[in-house]
Amino acid sequence: MENLAVVVEGLSVCYGTFTAVDNVSFTVKSGEIYGLLGPNGAGKTTALKVLVGVLEPRAGKVEIFKTPLSNELAAKSLIGYVPEEVVLFDSLTPREFLEFTASIRRLETNTVNARTEKLVSAFQLSQYFDTPIAALSMGNKQKVAIIAALMHEPPLLILDEPLIGLDARSSKILKELIVFQAKKGGAVIFSTHIMEVAEKICTKVGIISKGRMIGEGTVEDLRKLVKGAEGSLEDIFLKVTEQEAGMEETIRALEEG
Ligand SMILES: Nc1ncnc2c1ncn2[C@@H]1O[C@H](COP(=O)(O)OP(=O)(O)OP(=O)(O)O)[C@@H](O)[C@H]1O
Ligand SMILES: [Mg+2]
């Protein structure tokens, strides 16, 4: 039986009178890596915030592993979330912050320590483990947030542009972790602007523009659906979001100075 990790049906989210997410529906199954794509301001972060329960939708149904989002606590223990804007405690060290995260998640110390240690070493964060977070670089702060999201081995990862700020090596490690999560039967949903990454690792993508889902499926599905976009996911993306119009003129104008 297919295991639905995420069901979103007719989701609408408003900020005052502005509709940021407009009647969006999609599902993510266990074993899938779902890429949420869309131009700046499309509504990706807004949609992801609803999935993790930090924003209230105006309308629609959201279920995490068949648990309605109204049962927030049950849903939350199943999710590892890396927000777009990472919020950490500046005065804590990564060690203290991760211990704190483990304690509020009520995780068993030995198991979580072993897992955290592995992740800290994989992301080459060991030398900063006892440095106040305030003194860490942007990428290293991002790594702490990623480790905090992965430490309880959640069956669903929700990552909002998780590769931002990561160096090439850490970026590769995170991509491997995402693929491994799906391989072992977990689900991943992540937003990204890096089309090459989405094309390489996503089993399915959803393209959002101005709050609406305008294209969904495997890259192959989209290639068939979108006329004149035989090439890469980048081509498809620019076509469906109609951002390719006037691109050449824009680039030429920039080059001419
Ligand atoms: N707190 C807020 N109050 C009012 N409007 C908001 C708020 N947060 C986001 N918006 C608006 O909602 C729309 C969607 O924003 P959102 O952050 O979800 O986009 P996004 O797809 O994640 O964009 P990006 O690729 O730049 O991260 C934008 O028009 C944005 O200006
Ligand atoms: Mg965003």
pLDDT tens for each residue of 95-118: 999 999 998 888 888 888 889 999
Report, as ranges of residue numbers, the positions in the chain whose pLDDT lies below 70.
1-2, 71-74, 228-230, 244
pLDDT of residue 243: 72
Atom of ligand 1 nearest to the CA of 18: 5
Pocket probe for ligand 1: among 44, 56, 86, 159, the residue whose CB has the most ligand atoms within 8 Å is: 44
pTM: 0.93
d(CA 230, CA 222): 10
What is the C-alpha to C-alpha distance for residues 80 and 6, in angstroms, rounded to an integer? 13
Residue nearest to ligand 1 atom 31, measured at CA: 41
Please report the pLDDT score of residue 228 as a whole number: 65
Residue to substitute in 19, 21, 40, 46 for testing ligand 1 pocket (most ligand atoms within 8 angstroms of CB)? 46
Q: Record the tokens describing residue 135, joined without a space.
A: 């003194």
> For residue range 185-222, what is the model confidence (pLDDT) as tens digits?
999 999 999 999 999 999 999 999 999 999 999 988 88
| Alpha-carbon gap, residue 23 to 4, rounded angstroms | 20
User: Which residues crowd ion ligand 2, with CB under 5 Å?
Assistant: 44-45, 84
3-state secondary structure the chain: CCCEEEEEEEEEEEECCEEEEEEEEEEEECCCEEEEECCCCCCHHHHHHHHCCCCCCCEEEEEECCEECCCHHHHHCCEEEECCCCCCCCCCCHHHHHHHHHHHCCCCHHHHHHHHHHHHHHCCCHHHCCCCHHHCCHHHHHHHHHHHHHCCCCCEEEEECCCCCCCHHHHHHHHHHHHHHHHCCCEEEEECCCHHHHHHHCCEEEEEECCEEEEEECHHHHHHHCCCCCCCHHHHHHHHCCCCCCHHHHHHHHHHC
Residue-range domain boundaries for the chain: 4-78+154-256, 87-153
Q: Whose CA is nearest to atom 2 of ligand 1?
A: 15
State residue 72's pLDDT score.
67
Q: Report the alpha-carbon distance of residue 85 to residue 62 in Å, rounded.
A: 23
Q: Does CATH place domain 4-78+154-256 in 3.40.50.300?
A: yes
How far from the centroid of its chain's Cα atoms is residue 220's Cα? 22
- Rounded to the nearest angstrom, the distance between the alpha carbon of 21 and the centre of ligand 2 is 12
Pocket test residue of 15, 17, 51, 55 for ligand 1, highest count of atoms within 8 A of CB: 15
